[in-house]
Amino acid sequence: MRVLVTGISGFIGSHLAEYLTQILPEVEIFGLVRPRSCLCGLNRVVSRVKLIEGDVRDQISVLRALAEVRPDRIFHLAGQSAVEASFRVPDETFSINILGTVNLLEALLELRLNPVVLLASSAEAYGLAFLAELPIKETAPLRPLNPFGVSKAAQDLLGFQYYKNYGLNIIRARIFNTLGPRQPIHYQVSSLANQIAEIEKKKREPVLKVGSLENKKDYIDVRDLVRALWLTADRGEPGEVYNLGSGQSWSGNEILKLMLGMTRARLMLETVDKKHDNKNILLEPPILLADINRLVKLTGWKPQISLRQSILDLINYWREQG
């Protein structure tokens, strides 16, 4: 089997590469990476993965990669995933997430390839969910509240359209909030973990800067997530969509309380107002909680790593840096 992972150098992609090398020693793993991408997350698997330079926004490079690999399975993880950045650069967000997906799917059609394609959508595509709709089922309406969510909703619908129109073997996974080692600093929990680690090292003043803590999110450990991604691609039905989350939600205040209990540093809290020009550019859903029954029934998958362990591993990751 030949597996291609777009965005393999990213947070989820690098963890997926590690997982695949552990459970599938005979599988050939290829990764699409943008030129000059940081490959530090792939240190443990660099000898097992063949990297191909390319950009999903450039259809020629996507065609070349697919023609070379001719994969049996594709995990399409490449994308712009930062909610805050999506407000600043909506054009880039749409270009990477939507046009990049179109380029991938059109290249498959041109090359007459039909592998199983796992499209990594996002819970942000659901956006505004009402209490009567919780936990959120895959049949819930899509009401995205930020450009990132809009881009993932469009990507999600593209997957369905190409399945119906062209018979491509596309499975969609709506991923809820992910935690774990190597998570980029632009995510709220990772930012807090990094600040705590730097305060402990006396690299900054003992002031923990926090944003809004009211929203409740469904968190899944990245190591649990990559197991779910593989199982979904392996057993899922083309044309279908599956929620990938933990089935539990926590507020920012609950997360912060857990984190403060993991350090001996004496901290002061400072609330950071990220509103600019009287516009709330970080508009996010007040609550995201996944109904994961479809995934569990299909695969038997269940989360194995607790929220506490995920957070501790993330803090320890930042403690080990520099």
Q: How far, in Å, CA of 267 to CA of 255, rounded?
A: 16
pLDDT digits (tens, 9 = 90+) for 134-192: 999 999 999 999 999 999 999 999 999 999 999 999 999 999 999 999 999 999 999 99
Q: How far, in Å, CA of 78 to CA of 100, rounded?
A: 8
Q: Which fold is adopted by the domain 180-217+249-289+304-320?
A: UDP-galactose 4-epimerase; domain 1 (3.90.25)
**DSSP alpha helices (H): ranges in the chain?**
11-23, 59-69, 83-88, 90-94, 100-111, 147-166, 188-200, 222-235, 252-260, 293-299, 307-320
Every domain of the chain and the residues it spans: 2-178+221-244, 180-217+249-289+304-320
User: What pLDDT sits at residue 284?
Assistant: 81
Q: Which residues make Cβ contacts (< 8 Å) with residue 77, sequence separation at least 6?
A: 5, 6, 7, 8, 10, 12, 13, 16, 120
User: What pLDDT sits at residue 320?
Assistant: 97
> Is residue 278 scored above 80 in pLDDT?
no
The DSSP H or E segment spanning 208 is strand 207-210
Q: Which residues make Cβ contacts (< 8 Å) with residue 34, sequence separation at least 6?
A: 9, 53, 54, 55
- Among 41-45, 73-77, 271-275, the range with the most confident prediction by mean pLDDT is 73-77
User: What pLDDT sits at residue 322?
Assistant: 72
Residue type at 311?
I
Q: How far is CA 182 from CA 15, 149, 275, in A?
A: 9, 23, 27
CATH 3.40.50.720 is right for the domain spanning 2-178+221-244: yes
The pair of three-digit structure tokens given for residue 53, joined into one six-digit string: 């330079």
Q: Which of 36-40, 222-226, 267-271 has the lowest mean pLDDT?
A: 36-40
Provide the 8-state DSSP code for 286.
Answer: S
> Is residue 89 scored above 80 in pLDDT?
yes
The pair of three-digit structure tokens given for residue 45, joined into one six-digit string: 């698997």
Predicted TM-score (pTM) of the model is 0.96
How would residue 275 be classed by pLDDT, with cut points 50, 70 and 90? low
Percent of the chain with pLDDT over 90: 93
User: What pLDDT sits at residue 272?
Assistant: 86
pLDDT digits (tens, 9 = 90+) for 176-235: 999 999 999 999 999 999 999 999 999 999 999 998 888 999 999 999 999 999 999 999
